[in-house]
Amino acid sequence: MFGAIPLLIVPFVLYNLGLLGIFGGGDDPWVTEILSVRMMSGGVFSMTLGDLMVLIGLIFFFIEMVKATRTTNASIMDHLLSTFVFVAFLVEFLLVKGAAHSVFFTLMVIALIDVLAGFSVSMRSASRDINMN
């Protein structure tokens, strides 16, 4: 049951919570630095909240690609729900002022690639399951 839930809904919800001010105030919470490490080379590695959101999206995208290799009835529902998640990303990107941000756009593209790759992987996997006698 829960295997059909698209995991890219998590970055979508987290981004919207950030717009509501959960992660800090200000107009752009995504530029808030959350980690800074001085490297042996003398350079400084820093990670912003927006970078972390994209990283979370990529991790969930990887899990979605692993889930796409299943050939069960739940995988069809998973792809359908992933399409709805992408449509939600797209509608919010076009209509909500706070979603007009590069972090949100990157998450939306990850959701689009999830939909396209998920259907492609499933069709490829399903074609190998058909036996011709």
* Average pLDDT, consecutive stretches of 10 residues, N- to C-terminus, the chain (133 residues): 80 91 78 93 94 95 85 77 95 94 95 90 65 56
Spatial neighbors of 22 by CB under 8 A, at least 6 apart, are none
Residue 24's region, left for phi above 0, alpha for psi from -120 to 50, else beta, is left
Look at residue 68 in the predicted model and tell me its pLDDT.
79
Look at residue 128 in the predicted model and tell me its pLDDT.
58
Spatial neighbors of 43 by CB under 8 A, at least 6 apart, are none
Which of 55, 44, 65, 77 is closest to 118 using CA atoms? 65
